[in-house]
C-alpha cells in the first residue's frame, strides 16, 4: 500500500489541498506561494502568463504574530480549523539583533500558538516548520535531529512576562551564551516547541543555511531585500565596502531560495503521503550546500568583485575592491584607511559644496551589519544531509526536474553573477540600459585614483625624499632592486619561450 501511495506525484498530491502559509509576504513566502500556484510586480509575471486565474485560489487571512492567538478572527479560525490540509510556517523575525523579548514573541510564542491551532484542525496532513541550519551553530557537526534546548522555552516565556526591558537586555548575553544572536537562539527554542507541542501532529522541520537569490525560479538571481549577504554585495559593488573580517577558506554556505522552497514542498509531500507510516522522530532536513558543493568566502569575494567590475552599479563611490582578512590588526588598519578616512574626506567635500554629509553614517551602518555577519564569515560547519538525500531519491524523474533541489548541479560562478545582477535589477531597480554610463563612471573613478596616487607620490618625493640624502639612497636602492627583478623575470620568460 505504501509503495502505491508513493507513486503519487508532488503536483497530484497538492491537487485540491488547502494550504495555510504564514509569512506569505516575506522573501521565502513569496517564492513558495509563486511555486505552488505558478502576483507583486516582477516576481509573479511568469505566473500571470501561465495561470491568469491564480487569484481565485488565494485567500488572505489577517493575522499579527505579536498579538494573542495571532489576532485571528473567530470566523478565520473556524475556517482554518475546518479546511486546512497543509501548514507551511515561514513567518519569523530574521533580524539578528532583534531584542530578546520580540524574538521570543515572533519566533517561539507565535509558533506555539500556531501549533495549538493546528492540533484543532480536522483535516491536517502535515505541519512544516521553517527553521535555520544555524539553530545549533554552537556545534560544529549538526545532525538532522532536534537537540535539547538551551533553556526551557516555557520557563523563559513565563520569566519574560514579569521582567522589564532593561533587565531582559541585561541578561540576554548570558542567556544566549555561545550563540551569536537572539535569532539563532530563539529558532532553537522554536524547534523544541515544535517537537513538544506537535508530538501528535505529522511534523517536519526545514533548516536552510544562508538563503540567497534564486538559482532558477521564478527568475535567475531574483532577490528582493538587503538582508544577509545581499546588502554586503551591494556595498561592495558600490565601492563602499573595502574590507571585511572573514576567513577566505571558511565555507560560505549559501543556499538559493528556490532550492529551499523545492525542498520544503517535497518534504511536505513526503510527510503527507507517508502520514500513516511516519517515523517516530520528527523529520528534519538540513538544507545546505557546504557538504555537497562547497563554496568559500574567498571565492564569493572574487566573483562579486569581478561581476561588478564587468557590470558596475550606477553612481559607484569607488571601484569595487574588497580585502578579506581574519587578522585583527590588519582589519582595523584597513577599516581606518579604506572606510573611515575616505568617508570623512567625502563628507568634508559634501559640506564644502553645500550638501548634507552622509558617508560616515553609511559606513557606521555598514560596520554594524558586518559585525552581525562576522560570526558566519569566519567559521565553518558540517551538516548531515542524509534526510535531504533520501528525499531526493524518493522523487520521480519528472518531479526531480520540476522541484529540483540537487545542489550538486549548482554552478557557483554563474549563480554568483546572476545573484549580483539580481541585486542590481530587483533591489536597486537599475536598468541594464544604464550599464554603458556606469562603466564610463567606473573608468572615471579609476583615472581619479591614478591621478591621486601620482600626486601623492610627487608630494612624498618633494616633502620627504628630495630633502634627505639617506631617503634618496633608499629610494634609488628600491627602484634598482625592482628593475633588476623585472629584468630577471623578463629574461627568464624569454628563455622559457
**pLDDT in single tens digits along all 497 residues of the chain:** 344 444 688 988 888 888 899 988 889 988 998 888 763 346 445 555 666 665 666 777 777 777 777 788 888 888 889 888 999 999 998 888 899 999 999 999 999 999 999 999 999 999 999 999 999 999 999 999 999 998 999 999 999 888 888 998 999 999 999 999 999 999 999 999 999 998 889 999 999 999 999 999 889 999 988 888 999 999 999 999 999 999 999 999 999 999 999 999 999 999 999 887 777 789 999 999 999 999 999 999 999 999 999 999 999 888 899 989 888 898 999 999 899 988 998 899 889 988 898 899 999 999 998 999 999 999 999 999 999 999 999 999 999 999 999 999 999 999 999 999 999 999 999 998 889 998 898 888 878 777 776 777 777 666 666 667 776 677 677 777 777 776 765 555 444 44
Q: What is the DSSP-derived secondary structure letter of residue 275?
A: T
| 134 to 106, 141, 204, 267, 382: CA distances (angstroms) | 17, 11, 17, 19, 11
CB-based contact 103:169 (threshold 8 Å): no
Distance, CA of 121 to CA of 115 (rounded, Å): 10
Secondary structure (DSSP) of 460-474: HIIIIITT-HHHHHH
CB 382 within 8 A of CB 291: yes
| Cα angle value 257/221/134 (rounded, 5°) | 30
The structure's pTM equals: 0.86
Tally Cβ neighbours within 10 Å of residue 446.
Answer: 12
pLDDT reported for residue 85: 92
Give the span between the Cα atoms of 477 and 462, in whole angstroms: 18
Contact 104, 66 (CB under 8 A): no
Q: Do 320 and 309 touch, CB atoms closer than 8 A?
A: yes
Report the SS3 class of residue 255.
strand
Report the half-sphere exposure of 227 (CA within 13 A, side-chain side): 17
- Alpha-helix residue ranges (DSSP H) falling in 38-152: 45-50, 74-83, 100-104, 110-118
Domain boundaries, the chain: 2-223+252-294+381-407, 435-496
Q: How many CA atoms within 13 Å lie on the side-chain side of 148?
A: 3
Question: Using CA atoms, how far apart are residues 425 and 431, in angstroms rounded to an integer?
Answer: 6
In CATH, 2-223+252-294+381-407 is 3.40.50.720: yes
Count Cα atoms within 13 angstroms, Cβ side, for 194.
30
> DSSP string spanning 361-383?
HHHHHHHHHHHHHHHHHH---EE
The helix (H) or strand (E) run that includes residue 245 is strand 243-245
Amino acid at each position: 500500500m505504501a509503495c502505491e501511495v508513493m507513486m503519487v506525484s508532488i503536483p497530484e498530491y497538492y491537487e485540491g489541498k488547502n494550504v495555510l502559509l504564514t509569512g506569505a509576504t516575506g522573501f521565502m513566502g513569496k517564492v513558495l506561494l509563486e511555486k505552488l500556484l505558478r502576483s507583486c510586480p516582477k516576481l509573479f509575471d511568469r505566473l500571470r502568463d501561465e495561470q491568469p486565474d491564480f487569484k481565485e485560489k488565494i485567500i488572505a487571512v489577517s493575522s499579527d504574530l505579536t498579538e494573542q492567538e495571532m489576532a485571528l478572527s473567530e470566523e478565520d479560525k473556524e475556517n482554518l480549523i475546518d479546511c486546512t490540509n497543509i501548514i507551511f510556517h515561514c513567518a519569523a523575525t530574521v533580524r539578528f539583533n532583534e531584542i530578546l523579548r520580540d524574538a521570543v514573541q515572533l519566533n517561539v510564542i507565535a509558533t506555539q500558538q500556531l501549533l495549538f491551532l493546528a492540533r484543532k484542525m480536522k483535516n491536517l496532513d502535515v505541519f512544516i516548520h521553517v527553521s535555520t541550519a544555524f539553530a545549533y551553530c554552537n556545534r560544529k557537526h549538526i545532525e538532522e535531529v532536534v537537540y535539547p534546548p538551551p533553556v526551557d522555552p516555557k520557563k523563559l516565556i513565563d520569566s519574560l512576562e514579569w521582567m522589564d526591558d532593561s533587565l531582559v537586555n541585561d541578561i540576554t548575553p548570558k542567556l544566549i551564551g555561545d550563540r551569536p544572536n537572539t535569532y539563532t537562539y530563539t529558532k532553537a527554542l522554536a524547534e523544541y516547541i515544535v517537537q513538544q507541542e506537535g508530538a501528535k501532529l505529522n511534523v517536519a522541520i526545514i533548516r536552510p543555511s544562508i538563503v540567497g537569490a534564486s538559482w532558477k525560479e521564478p527568475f535567475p538571481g531574483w532577490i528582493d531585500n538587503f538582508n544577509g549577504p545581499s546588502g554586503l554585495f551591494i556595498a561592495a559593488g558600490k565601492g563602499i565596502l573595502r574590507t571585511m573580517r572573514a576567513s577566505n577558506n571558511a565555507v560560505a554556505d549559501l543556499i538559493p531560495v528556490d532550492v529551499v522552497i523545492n525542498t520544503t514542498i517535497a518534504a511536505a509531500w513526503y510527510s503527507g503521503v507517508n502520514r500513516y507510516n511516519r517515523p517516530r522522530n520528527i523529520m528534519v532536513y538540513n538544507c545546505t550546500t557546504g557538504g555537497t558543493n562547497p563554496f568559500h568566502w574567498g571565492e564569493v569575494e572574487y566573483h562579486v568583485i569581478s561581476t561588478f567590475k564587468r557590470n558596475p552599479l550606477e553612481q559607484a563611490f569607488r571601484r569595487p575592491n574588497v580585502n578579506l582578512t581574519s587578522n585583527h590588526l590588519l582589519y582595523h588598519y584597513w577599516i581606518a584607511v579604506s572606510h573611515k578616512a575616505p568617508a570623512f574626506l567625502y563628507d568634508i567635500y559634501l559640506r564644502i559644496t553645500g550638501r548634507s554629509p552622509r558617508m560616515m553614517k553609511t559606513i557606521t551602518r555598514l560596520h554594524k551589519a558586518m559585525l552581525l555577519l562576522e560570526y558566519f564569515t569566519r567559521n565553518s560547519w558540517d551538516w548531515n544531509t542524509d534526510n535531504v538525500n533520501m528525499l531526493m531519491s524518493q522523487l520521480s524523474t519528472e518531479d526531480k526536474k520540476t522541484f529540483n533541489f540537487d545542489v550538486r548541479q549548482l554552478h557557483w560562478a554563474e549563480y554568483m553573477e546572476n545573484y549580483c545582477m539580481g541585486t542590481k535589477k530587483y533591489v536597486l531597480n537599475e536598468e541594464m540600459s544604464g550599464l554603458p554610463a556606469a562603466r564610463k563612471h567606473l573608468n572615471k573613478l579609476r583615472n581619479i585614483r591614478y591621478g591621486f596616487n601620482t600626486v601623492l607620490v610627487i608630494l612624498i618625493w618633494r616633502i620627504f625624499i628630495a630633502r634627505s640624502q639617506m631617503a634618496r639612497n633608499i629610494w634609488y636602492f628600491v627602484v634598482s632592486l625592482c628593475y633588476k627583478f623585472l629584468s630577471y623575470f623578463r629574461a627568464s620568460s624569454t628563455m622559457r619561450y
